[in-house]
Amino acid sequence: MSSVESKKIIAMAIDPIHIGTGGFTIGRVDNTIVRDPITRIPKIPGSSMAGTWRYYVALELQSSFKDEYKQDRKKREEKKENIQELFNAPKEWMKNFNGNRFSAIKCAGQDDEAESTLEESKEKLGHCGHCIVCKSFGFSKKDLSNQGMLFFSDLNILFFPVYTRLGVKWITSPKLLDKDIAIQENKILTSKGDEKYLNLGWLNLEVQRQHNLEDSDLQSSKLKLDDIIIVPDSLISQIINANLEVRTSVSIDPITGAAKDTALFTSEAIPRGTIFCGEVRGFQRDNGLLNLDDIFNALNDSKQYYESLGVGGMTTRGFGRMKILGALNEKS
């Protein structure tokens, strides 16, 4: 029987994150970021998560091959019965699935050999169509196509850091929390409820009462209840967009080594400390050749690459690093 299993993803931005919309716009900044078309709240698209995580699983798999097998797929194919001998200290998900012996680093990213058959791709090193990367994230060949077993949702903002006179606080709203919370227009809820007025960036708002959230509402975000402020749904988008990080950059003239004229541009980003929430769903196919436990273990073992290589644009300029909180191989 086919089944679907869902895992929650809670992530924290270590650096500002810039998922660009492409091109320049006329407005407050030149390089804008992706937003939800209805709420206008910035987000990390599921396509960005699927693309980067595919690469990170492939990177984790390739880095575990012994040196003599890393570039030689033909040698690996000979180890049909002893696939564990291909790896240095193999993890269970690597040696459990026999198709991993066909894997190549090009199983990540866009397949530049999509017009080839599976057999031809063995020589040209396109997507192999057999390994855990291709099976989990999908592939398409001239003679065979397979939909992936993983489905990524967008990562939406759950808690957003804002400067206040009491230090940095994280704002959220009833809709972001998916809770029915009574809150008056233009007022906020804090953990103490006795501040009378509190500024959120440039905006000074009246404190209505305590928010009465529980630790379970923080969803493994590692924040404290004292740090959380609930604002009305009608204000959350305006406050977030008014407190995004904006960086100014300039192109350098390679001849003079100085700034180029008319080459000044600005980019916006989701600030560090932002907490995101989303989910990844795994679909267990009837053939049972690859089980969801191995797939989620592969995601869990490769998530650390987000802390070094990041997600989104301008990662060489101090953007993009993110930490996935919690373990994806835990039972929901």
pLDDT one-digit tens code per residue, 250-262: 888 888 888 887 7
Contacts 24+ apart (CB under 8 A), 99-102: 99/128, 99/130, 99/131, 99/132, 99/134, 99/135, 99/289, 99/290, 100/61, 100/130, 100/131, 100/132, 101/73, 101/76, 101/77, 101/131, 102/73, 102/76, 102/77, 102/128, 102/129, 102/130, 102/131
pLDDT of residue 51: 94
Q: What is the DSSP string of 135-146?
A: HHHEEE-SS-EE
What residue segments make up the domains of the chain, in order of their start?
3-18+46-153+273-325, 155-243
Query: How many angstroms separate the Cα of 108 from the Cα of each of 115, 219, 268, 330?
Result: 17, 31, 28, 25
Measured CA to CA, the distance from residue 117 to residue 128 in angstroms comes to: 10
Instruction: Give percent of the chain with pLDDT exceeding 90.
Output: 59
Through-space distance between the first and last CA atoms of the chain, rounded to whole angstroms: 20
Instruction: Identify whether the C-beta of residue 85 lies closer than 8 Å to the C-beta of residue 100.
Output: no
pLDDT of residue 16: 96
Q: What is the DSSP string of 45-108?
A: -HHHHHHHHHHHHHHHHHHHB-GGGTT-HHHHHT-SS-GGGGBSS--HHHHH-GGGGG--GGGS
Residue 44: beta bridge partners?
155
Residue ranges, the chain, pLDDT below 70: 1-2, 23-27, 121-123, 286-288, 331-332
Measured CA to CA, the distance from residue 216 to residue 291 in angstroms comes to: 30
pLDDT of residue 27: 66
Helix ranges (H only) for the chain are 46-64, 73-77, 92-96, 118-124, 132-137, 174-177, 233-242, 292-302
pLDDT of residue 1: 42
Query: How many angstroms separate the Cα of 222 from the Cα of each of 228, 286, 311?
Result: 12, 38, 21
| 316 Cβ contact partners less than 8 Å away, ≥ 6 residues apart | none
